[in-house]
Structure 1
Amino acid sequence: MSEPDLQDQRDLPTLVDPSKLREMPTTARGVRTREALVAAARRVFERDGFINSRLTDITAEAKCSIGSFYTYFESKDEIFAAVMQAAQDDMLHPGLPRVDSDPSNVAAILDASNRAYVEAYKRNAKLNLLLEQVATIDPEFRKLRVARGAAFAERNARWIKRLQDEGYADPELDPYMTARALSPMLGRMAYHAFALEDDSLDEDAIVATATVVWMNALGIPKDGTKRA
């Protein structure tokens, strides 16, 4: 991954409000206990949903007391933020481009990026479904999701603009609006396939279809050459 790509990763907004998290424990035992609670909370949240999950369910899953819970967290909201903090790097799909710096390799770039997104979504399918629920009830979390979605679109828009500048993509397209139109397409297909467990959607077919749709929407010739 190039330095600009790494900067793109660092610039993406977090899904976690840092003010909702306490400082990490200073002892090895404290770290282990906190990690066990976070892992247990993720399992309970994914199993029961955020609304129906109880602190007693989390402590039972972690095999610790409610007193131990309050040593590290003060509420369900706070441990949810900790779950998101632990998971968000793995949920962060690589973006565009990720194959090499040659824009003529656009089909391979799109295919690799779409596949990386789908695989990351599949690994975290239940958590992604949970995010849909929490965003409907927590205005602050919803704002963080909106900001993160806009940042992803801006990142992809920069790549679309580069394709336009180098003669591969339709110059009449607005890069940002095009990214906002195309990026959610793959997300919704992955959501139905893995979060809602729609067996009619195959992983390879999702990636292949998304790649073709991106190519067609950007007006890129099938052979990857520059536009006439």
Structure 2
Amino acid sequence: MTARDTTKRPGDDSLPPLAVTDGEKAPPVTARGERTRAALITAARRIFERDGFSDARLTDITAEAKCSTGTFYTYFDSKEEILDAVLALAHEDMLHPGLPHVETRAQDDPYAVLEAANRAYFEAYKRNAKLRLVLEQVSANIPEFREKRRRRGQVFATRNARHIKDLQDRGLADPDLDPLVAATALSGMVSRMAYQAFALGDYADLDQMVVTATRLWANAIRLRGPEEPGVSES
């Protein structure tokens, strides 16, 4: 990892489409085609969230999108393929939930940055909670989705590891931690908190979740403010 390499490059956090068909459909070449494909994805999301994956029918998706079955097969080869398109959009929403200000604040208050990132993640998870239940269903039964879920989880962990490494290089976090191992553990903790709260509905006090997750993160990596003495090597 390169210290302070926080610039997002094209493709850094992207994943290829799920390989569940023999050939990938070409993207629409017209604005009308793009609108039709987007309408199908929006409709599919509603049906998957309402019925789950197993009980969702292509006829319900096409009826919701107000198009024919033939039109569906112009853009997607299967129910699995359109679900992957739905999940890919949700992944982008959760990975990049609109925080361009976080990086610019990093040198001033790393705790505030962490708190803002946790809040944005929880809010994005809440928006996508019903889909997370669908993801649980397909991950348990379809190996391709299980592998895609693993790889998408790695994207989150790798990004968080870069931030931990940056804090270590600045003397603001425990230098003895392996950044990727720590990021994997802490990302899993926050993800599970969100799943319990929003997918299972165990609790949903967002402010308390943000406070707790941020404190646990900060304590785990021994986060210090810029004005505090750095964490010394032991």
CA distance in 2, matches of 1:18, 1:114: 32
CA distance in 1, matches of 2:35, 2:207: 38
Alignment match, 1:141: 145
* Kept after mapping to 1: 8 A contact 2:168/2:174: yes
Alignment of 1:35-54 (within 5 A): 35-54=38-57
Render the CA deviation track for 1:170-195: whole Å, top value 9, x for unaligned. 22222211111111111111111111
Higher mean C-alpha deviation, range 130-139 or range 30-39: 30-39
Alignment match, 1:183: 187
* SS state at 2:109 partner: helix
Taking structure 1 as reference, are residues 168 and 91 closer, same or farther at Cα in structure 2, changes over 3 Å only? closer
Taking structure 1 as reference, are residues 97 and 184 closer, same or farther at Cα in structure 2, changes over 3 Å only? farther
The alpha carbon displacement at 1:106 in A equals: 1.6
Whether 2:33 is the aligned partner of 1:24: answer no
* SS state at 2:185 partner: helix
The alpha carbon displacement at 1:138 in A equals: 1.8
Whether 2:102 is the aligned partner of 1:98: answer yes
Alignment match, 2:221: 218
CA distance in 1, matches of 2:158, 2:85: 27
CA distance in 2, matches of 1:201, 1:84: 23
Identical counterparts, % of pairs: 53
* SS state at 1:24 partner: coil
Aligned residues: 225
Alignment of 1:75-94 (within 5 A): 75-93=78-96
Which residue identity is paired with 1:17?
Answer: L
Alignment match, 1:14: 15
CA distance in 2, matches of 1:217, 1:114: 15
CA distance in 1, matches of 2:204, 2:86: 28
Render the CA deviation track for 1:60-113: whole Å, top value 9, x for unaligned. 222222232223322111221232344432232469992436446121111011
* SS state at 1:90 partner: helix
Mind listing any 5+ residue stretches in structure 2 that lack a counterpart?
A: none
Runs ≥4 in structure 1, deviation > 6 angstroms?
none
Alignment of 1:191-202 (within 5 A): 191-198=195-202, 200-202=203-205
The alpha carbon displacement at 1:50 in A equals: 0.7
CA distance in 2, matches of 1:187, 1:97: 23
Render the CA deviation track for 1:9-61: whole Å, top value 9, x for unaligned. 73124273278541123344333332222211110011111111111111222
CA distance in 2, matches of 1:71, 1:136: 29
State the superposition RMSD in angstroms.
2.8
* Kept after mapping to 1: 8 A contact 2:20/2:81: no
CA distance in 1, matches of 2:224, 2:85: 45
CA distance in 1, matches of 2:85, 2:163: 32
Could you state the TM-score of these two structures normalised by the residue count of structure 1? Answer: 0.85
Taking structure 1 as reference, are residues 156 and 224 closer, same or farther at Cα in structure 2, changes over 3 Å only? farther
Whether 2:137 is the aligned partner of 1:130: answer no
Taking structure 1 as reference, are residues 183 and 105 closer, same or farther at Cα in structure 2, changes over 3 Å only? same
Higher mean C-alpha deviation, range 79-88 or range 125-134: 79-88
CA distance in 1, matches of 2:179, 2:49: 36
Whether 2:162 is the aligned partner of 1:158: answer yes
